[in-house]
Amino acid sequence: MVAHQGRGLLAAGERGLLIAEVAASGKIKISASHATHGKATRVVAENDRAWLVDDETEVVMLDIGAPSKPAESGRYRADQAITDIAVQGGYVYLLLGRSTVAVIDMRTPHASVELSRFDLDAEAKQIFVAGDHVYAAQPGYGLAILDAGDKAHIRQIGRHAVTGGATAVSVQDDVALLARGESGITLLNVSDPAQIKWLGSHSRLGRVAGMAAHAKKALLWNDAPNLSAWTWPIPNCPPSPRRIATWRSCRKLAGCHLLDDSTVLAANSSTLQSIDLSATPPLFSNENLDTGQGVNFGGERRLFIAGDIAYVADWFSGLHLYDITMPDRPRLLSSFHTPGSAKGVAVRDGIALRRG
């Protein structure tokens, strides 16, 4: 599912592409559709075009300038199953099989050309494109970053391990939000792909099943099934995820997307629902805390205070140092991503010892 000009585009399996609109009353209407040869599994959109994965190995380019009448304007057949798709500037990025990223030039109707491909060293679940970089979420490792500035020669330029690996990624303003399955979410500073830095994390989410982003908000849904909306980064403090709304579904969610700042289109295996996030307050009283203000969301925590510095051993995210000169406003000074889980910390003569 993807949002496009206030509408929802859905890859609806044997039903092909569906275009849904949500009225002010919340009522959903299917305003247009496009039949496919096989099952439609994924869709992305840019400007007046959409790219639909058909029967696992084909990409269908559609002109959606007139949303009520989608018209096919090109096809590309891959030599492997297409497991994810992204688009930027008319260039289509495909995740082929489990670990191959391919760049396809589909700017010109009926003239698709593969420009290059790169084989990752581990399985990837999802890809995201921002600027000249391709970000790959790897379940068995974390995040891989490819340089696609030269479309004919893409190459890997960065990699970062996270606890639990990564199943989805979204990037805005050099901040990457990673969904980590049972381990929650993590934010990374990716302004320098060779020196990726940990910014914050949250683990009280259940098993994260999917993620979608719109402007400064992100949607995450788990296997409970719960849907939560987050905002990042927070101005004037270290970027960290902050939950702004939560909604509980009665059935497992298959996909969601923000149509605007507050309207969500959610799909399960057989129905569509519209959700007004402005009317769904957080379910938990402590959800508006964030790591930049002194709260960690890893596993069981251990604290050691020396002078005005608090040393926090946070299982999933490592070791963090806070300035507690003002106890009501702890300030994050620095973080260290430990090779394993940080289960405890002690400080003596300016040296911090971590138990792992």
Sketch the domain layout of the chain as residue ranges: 2-283, 295-355
Contact criterion met (CB below 8 Å) for 292 and 240: yes
Which residues contact residue 16 at a Cβ distance below 8 angstroms, ignoring those fewer than 6 apart?
A: 33, 34, 35, 36, 40, 52
98-107, 135-144, 266-275, 278-287: range with lowest mean pLDDT: 278-287
pLDDT band at 286 (very low <50, low <70, confident <90, very high): very low
The answer to whether residue 24 scores a pLDDT higher than 60 is: yes
26-30, 157-161, 165-169, 191-195: range with lowest mean pLDDT: 26-30
The answer to whether residue 170 scores a pLDDT higher than 80 is: yes
What is the reported pTM?
A: 0.75
pLDDT band at 238 (very low <50, low <70, confident <90, very high): very low
Q: What is the mean pLDDT of residues 245-258?
A: 71
pLDDT band at 66 (very low <50, low <70, confident <90, very high): confident
Residue count (the chain): 356
The answer to whether residue 130 scores a pLDDT higher than 90 is: yes
* pLDDT score of 295: 36
Between 142 and 222, residue with greater pLDDT: 142
Start-to-end CA distance of the chain, whole Å, equals 41
The answer to whether residue 284 scores a pLDDT higher than 70 is: no
Q: Supply the DSSP symbol for 234.
A: P
Write down the mean pLDDT value for the chain.
Answer: 79
* pLDDT score of 95: 97
Q: Distance between CA atoms of 165 and 180, rounded to whole angstroms?
A: 6
Structure tokens, 335: 């973080």
Q: Is the CA virtual torsion 31, 35, 38, 43 positive or negative?
A: negative
Q: Distance between CA atoms of 268 and 213, rounded to whole angstroms?
A: 18
Per-range mean pLDDT, top range of 20-34, 212-226, 333-347: 20-34
Burial of 216 (0-12, 13-18, 19+ CB in 10 A): middle
Nearest residue to 106 via CA among 122, 92, 125: 92
Q: What is the mean pLDDT of residues 250-260?
A: 74
Q: Cis peptide leading into 339, omega within 30 of 0? A: no
Q: Supply the DSSP symbol for 304.
A: E
pLDDT band at 285 (very low <50, low <70, confident <90, very high): very low
* pLDDT score of 246: 66
Which ranges of 224-328 would DSSP assign to H, the alpha helix? none
* pLDDT score of 147: 97
Which CATH code is given to the segment(s) 2-283? 2.130.10.10
* pLDDT score of 100: 97
> Which percentage of the chain shows pLDDT scores above 70?
78
Q: Distance between CA atoms of 187 and 172, rounded to whole angstroms?
A: 11
Q: What is the mean pLDDT of residues 214-225?
A: 74
pLDDT band at 283 (very low <50, low <70, confident <90, very high): very low
Nearest residue to 335 via CA among 242, 243, 241, 240: 240
Q: What is the mean pLDDT of residues 184-189?
A: 83
Structure tokens, 197: 């830095």
Contact criterion met (CB below 8 Å) for 267 and 219: no
The answer to whether residue 169 scores a pLDDT higher than 80 is: yes
